């Protein structure tokens, strides 16, 4: 039998041990975590909609009409009219022909990728893709070839030498770096090489593009350019679940083949109604996007002036590169002692030697909240101020 206790101790010694926090109350910048008040900069609630009163009211109103649980899978008797209405709304919102509502983003990626490729096929995956994409590739049993992050030329060379059914899958916004995939170039090479392009825009939906329609819309790409668009609803949209959108033929195919859609209980239909409310709000409230991106711009300017190494991101995901696991933990702990919650991200979530603090911004943050973060970062510079960090 494996020595599980030894493995856990080894993780602690390597600075890789993880713990869960107990959060009380709603998700918002001011949290109660492990019994103490903290100002959080590590949520994916980019538009501050997870605790939005209108969405909560929409959920409450729907409960009396729909009940609570989904009670069955979509293909038995769990596909409620509320789910259908949300799928129509998601198709409209993303500019696609059709959409399917999944339980989670992880399940969407696992189900979609493993349904669209299989034995004898080839999947090309960006090296920095999310774990759910990686696991979907493994589950498919297709041949998987990873290309260097964002390297379209390398990908094109790989596509040119590969025959048979091919699929390229990429994040739209990369969750740990915050940068955006070269989507227009990817669409071009996929069209030329007769390859199906799948984009997971989990961190772009709601934040980027016209009316918050995401990174694919920001790049001006149509359903023909990006046939399969995946997104989560528990980040910028502020509710729960996920979706895939694209041509009606492919959505019908996924209903027949996507195991994570077929063999699981449908999400509570009231959540679908709350999500429709949130999508309506996202479309009409440009001010939320302008505010959060304004916070990002100020943070980048002032944190860089302090000497912190930031990554080339213009999204609400703003990693501070540290390198060493223990140094990243020390900086995170020092910020927590000053009342701030900023998570240290370590391998295997990021490559070895690239530990970082992942700062994320929300439209619910104020300029005063950002003042607190910048002041604390100024106080803590000495913890990572080594030879590679300017004063």
Binding annotation for pyridoxal 5'-phosphate:
105-106, 175, 203, 232
Residues of each annotated binding site for substrate:
18, 130, 349
**125 close to 149: Cβ distance less than 8 angstroms:** no
Active site residue 235: yes
Do residues 15 and 348 lie in contact, with contact meaning Cβ atoms separated by under 8 Å?
no
Q: Which of 235, 291, 343, 365 does the annotation list as catalytic?
A: 235
Out of 166, 203, 291, 365, the active site residue is: 203
What does each C-alpha distance from 7 to 18, 49, 181 come to in angstroms? 13, 39, 36
Distance CA 63, CA 69 (A): 10
Are the CB atoms for 258 and 107 separated by under 8 Å?
A: no
Note the helical H segments in the chain.
4-13, 53-66, 81-94, 105-116, 131-140, 152-160, 183-192, 215-218, 248-257, 259-262, 269-284, 286-305, 325-337, 367-379
> Residues comprising the binding site?
18, 105-106, 130, 175, 203, 232, 349
Check if 203 is active-site. yes
Active site residue 40: no
Write down the catalytic residue from 40, 114, 125, 175.
Answer: 175
Do the beta carbons of residue 132 and residue 113 sit within 8 Å? no
Cβ-Cβ contacts under 8 Å for 226 (sequence gap 6 or more)? 183, 187, 197, 198, 199, 216
DSSP at 206: T
Q: Which residues are catalytic?
A: 175, 203, 235
């Amino acid at each position: 039998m494996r020595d599980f206790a030894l493995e856990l101790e080894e993780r602690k010694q390597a600075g890789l041990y993880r713990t869960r926090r107990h959060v009380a109350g709603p998700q918002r910048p001011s949290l109660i975590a492990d019994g103490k008040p903290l100002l959080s900069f590590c949520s994916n609630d980019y538009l501050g909609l997870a605790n939005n009163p209108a969405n909560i009211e929409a959920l409450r109103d729907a409960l009396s009409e729909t009940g609570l649980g989904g009670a069955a899978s979509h293909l038995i008797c769990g596909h409620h009219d509320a789910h259908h209405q949300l799928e129509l709304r998601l198709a409209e919102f993303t500019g696609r022909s059709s959409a399917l509502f999944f339980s989670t983003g992880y399940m969407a990626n696992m189900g979609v990728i493993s349904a669209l490729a299989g034995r004898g096929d080839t999947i090309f995956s960006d090296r920095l893709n999310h774990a759910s994409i990686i696991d979907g590739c493994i589950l498919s049993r297709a041949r998987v070839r990873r290309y260097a992050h964002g390297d379209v030329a390398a990908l094109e060379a790989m596509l040119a030498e590969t025959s048979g059914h091919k699929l390229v899958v990429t994040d739209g916004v990369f969750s740990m770096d915050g940068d955006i995939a070269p989507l227009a170039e990817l669409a071009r090479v996929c069209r030329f090489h007769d390859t199906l392009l799948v984009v997971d825009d989990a961190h772009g939906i709601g934040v980027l593009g016209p009316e918050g329609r995401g990174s694919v819309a920001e790049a001006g790409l149509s359903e023909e350019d990006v046939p399969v668009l995946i997104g989560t609803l528990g980040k910028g949209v502020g509710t729960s679940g996920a979706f895939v959108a694209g041509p009606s033929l492919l959505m019908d195919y996924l209903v027949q083949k996507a195991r994570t859609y077929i063999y699981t209980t449908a999400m509570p239909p009231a959540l679908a109604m709350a999500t429709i409310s949130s999508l309506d709000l996202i479309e009409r409230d440009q001010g939320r996007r302008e505010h959060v991106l304004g916070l990002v711009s100020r943070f980048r300017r002032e944190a860089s002036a302090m000497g912190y190494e930031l990554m080339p991101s213009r999204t609400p995901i703003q990693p501070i590169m540290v390198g060493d696991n223990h140094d990243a933990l020390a900086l995170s702990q020092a910020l927590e002692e000053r009342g701030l919650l900023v998570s240290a991200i370590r391998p295997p979530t990021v490559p070895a030697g690239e530990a970082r603090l992942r700062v994320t911004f929300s439209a619910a943050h104020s300029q005063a909240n950002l003042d607190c973060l910048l002041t604390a970062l100024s106080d803590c510079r000495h913890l990572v101020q080594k030879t590679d960090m300017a004063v």
